[in-house]
Amino acid sequence: MLLSTTTPAAENPAALATSTTAGAGSLALTAGISAVMAVLATYTLLHHKQVFAWTKAMRRRDDDTATLAGPAQWIGKLYEEQCGLAQKPCHTAEFKELARVTNMIKGIADHTAALRTELNHIVEQADDYLATALPDPGPATKISTSEHRHQLVRAMRQEAARTELERALITAEQKINTLRRG
């Protein structure tokens, strides 16, 4: 048997054209699939980038909510206390719980950067309100008209200070709600 040195494609020009076309078609198909895969990979990376950014934002929001939970609780408690003392003259003994909650807010004010200004304003207003406490009543004695007027003026100043405290509390609550929404 003799070995032929020519390939079957070389003997048949039609077979040569078919094999070249088939090679070009598979090359075009490979290039097309590669392009589609590159586009899909790019979209996948962009999607993952968005998902990670969203996750990071949600984690930050959760951390902020946890940070704001303490001040929100104490502000709510102080609001409740001052509402209980509304529109009545209060003596020093009645301010005991209000003073305790104010001291708690004073303690957390420096550790809460986002609300430091509002918390310090609340503490100032609460201290002003506490300073308006009427002296504890002594034994029941008859008081003069001028003393009675003086007590009424002090009671009105006390109510005005309570109203200012209430405004400061509402402002801080609004700021907390704004920060929680992001």
What's residue 106's pLDDT? Answer: 92
- DSSP character string of 90-137: -BGGGGHHHHHHHHHHHHHHTT-GGGHHHHHHHHHHHHHHHHTPBPPP
pTM of the complete model: 0.65
The domains found in the chain, sorted by start residue, are 68-181 (1.20.120)
**Residue 171: is its pLDDT beyond 70?**
yes
- Identify the band that residue 68 occupies on the pLDDT scale cut at 50, 70 and 90: confident
What's residue 121's pLDDT? Answer: 95
